[in-house]
A = this chain, B = another copy of it.
Amino acid sequence: MYKREDTKPVYVSGVKIGGGNVTVQSMCSTKTTDIDKTLAQINSLAAAGCDIVRLAVDSHAAAQAFAEIRKNTDVPLVADIHFDYTLAVKCAQSGADKIRINPGNIGDKENIRQVVSACKERKIPIRIGVNMGSVEKEAERRYGRTPRAMVESAAYHIRLLGEFDFDDIVVSLKASDVVKTVEAYRLFSSLYPYPLHLGITEAGTEYSGIIKSATGIGALLLDGIGDTVRVSLTADPLAEVRAAREILKATGLLKTGIEFISCPTCGRCKIDLINLAKKVEAALCGVDKNIKVAIMGCAVNGPGEARDADIGIAGGSGCAVLFKKGAILRKIKECEIAETLIKEIGDM
């Protein structure tokens, strides 16, 4: 199996995908022709930790807007194109850092040659984006709507690019079904060294979409599969970036910002832990220290379970103990817990 350390890296502007590096992507929900709104969204996505931003380019007006947007930001940009190869050529020439296009869907070989030529000239990669809903007809005829059909579709597009000696390739294999998506990526990574763009397509609203994405993307990342992540949600793209980063944190691939551990409140808990945890999390949102904070309801699981934490509290009856690295510092009153914890973390 080609694990993420073994994939053949590509470069999207300065950002490496593959060869061990994992990045976060999202896609603008603005109309690309609305240049100001799109630029504002690109900047807010980048500020939230999005490494690469994708824009839909579905017309020549959008391609022109893409060129204009390109001049006004350094954020790595991907042009997302379906069917019309001239849009791909235009975007490559106007500074796209990566093109998402499926070469099997853009007409004859001369069209493919032109896209490849434009990408080679600018040294930019192509992502082949296979979706279960649009697998190649021949693959579907032979294998049905299965993970195997998705992998065969990707193989077909890879071959087409290979005919023009192009292999700066990223591949995605998305289905809305988590189980099939995971199988497709596993199968692909057992066969090809290309870096993988992970995602569950049409995952749904913020609630269930995050759970589907964390389940599927998380499972693959834990297996060493996956080089760039896009969480697809029917929500503000900022929510996609936040969720993608949390998945990377959960899988140990992103170590930044404060990590909270807090216990569910069982019958042993004598303090208002839910509101305490919310309050402390909100107060420390955006604090960029690498600190593990434990907010524990009781002494049974408290300091012991949270010995790894840099700082934490364990609730008692109307009070709590404050501890650092498992060593108890002092007892504090319930009403002082939040402010004490926030102050101590501020001083760290």
Chain A residues within 8 Å of B, Cβ to Cβ: 27-33, 38, 54-56, 58, 62, 80, 82, 131-134, 145, 176-179, 182, 201-205, 207-212, 214-216, 218-219, 221-223, 232-237, 240, 243, 246-247, 249-252, 260-269, 273-274, 277-278, 281, 294-296, 300-301, 304-308
A-B contact pairs, 12 of them (CB 8 A): A27-B264, A28-B266, A29-B266, A31-B267, A133-B306, A201-B263, A202-B264, A205-B277, A205-B278, A207-B246, A236-B274, A240-B264
Contact B28 A267 (CB under 8 A): yes
Residue of B nearest to A262 (CB): B234
Contact B201 A29 (CB under 8 A): no
Contact B179 A251 (CB under 8 A): yes
Residue of B nearest to A265 (CB): B29
Contact B58 A268 (CB under 8 A): yes
- How many copies altogether? 2
Cβ of A273: which chain B residues have Cβ within 8 Å of it?
Answer: 234
Contact A264 B246 (CB under 8 A): no
State whether A305 and B211 are in contact (beta carbons under 8 Å apart), knowing that A218-B218, A267-B29 are contacts in the complex. no
State whether A134 and B304 are in contact (beta carbons under 8 Å apart), knowing that A182-B222, A277-B205 are contacts in the complex. yes
Bound form: Cα–Cα A74–B286 in Å? 46
Bound form: Cα–Cα A289–B59 in Å? 40
Contact B202 A296 (CB under 8 A): yes
Within the complex, which residue of B177, B222, B260 is in contact with A205, where a contact is CB–CB below 8 Å? B260
Bound form: Cα–Cα A266–B79 in Å? 12
State whether A307 and B133 are in contact (beta carbons under 8 Å apart), knowing that A243-B211, A294-B202 are contacts in the complex. yes
User: Could you tell me the distance in whole angstroms from the C-beta of A138 to the nearest C-beta in chain B?
Assistant: 16
Contact A62 B29 (CB under 8 A): no
Bound form: Cα–Cα A322–B183 in Å? 31
Within the complex, which residue of B33, B267, B294, B304 is in contact with A62, where a contact is CB–CB below 8 Å? B267
Contact A210 B210 (CB under 8 A): yes
Cβ of A30: which chain B residues have Cβ within 8 Å of it?
Answer: 267
Contact A202 B306 (CB under 8 A): yes
Contact A222 B179 (CB under 8 A): yes
Bound form: Cα–Cα A30–B270 in Å? 10
Cβ of A243: which chain B residues have Cβ within 8 Å of it?
Answer: 211
Contact B208 A211 (CB under 8 A): no
Within the complex, which residue of B134, B202, B296 is in contact with A263, where a contact is CB–CB below 8 Å? B202
Bound form: Cα–Cα A260–B202 in Å? 9
Contact A301 B131 (CB under 8 A): yes
Bound form: Cα–Cα A261–B181 in Å? 14
State whether A178 and B80 are in contact (beta carbons under 8 Å apart), knowing that A56-B268, A133-B306, A211-B210 are contacts in the complex. no
Bound form: Cα–Cα A240–B321 in Å? 27
Contact A261 B176 (CB under 8 A): yes
State whether A214 and B218 are in contact (beta carbons under 8 Å apart), knowing that A178-B252, A252-B179, A264-B237 are contacts in the complex. yes
User: Could you tell me the distance in whole angstroms from the C-beta of A6 to the nearest C-beta in chain B?
Assistant: 19
User: Could you tell me the distance in whole angstroms from the C-beta of A219 to the nearest C-beta in chain B?
Assistant: 4
Contact A56 B222 (CB under 8 A): no
Cβ of A82: which chain B residues have Cβ within 8 Å of it?
Answer: 300
Within the complex, which residue of B58, B218, B247 is in contact with A267, where a contact is CB–CB below 8 Å? B58
User: Could you tell me the distance in whole angstroms from the C-beta of A199 to the nearest C-beta in chain B?
Assistant: 9
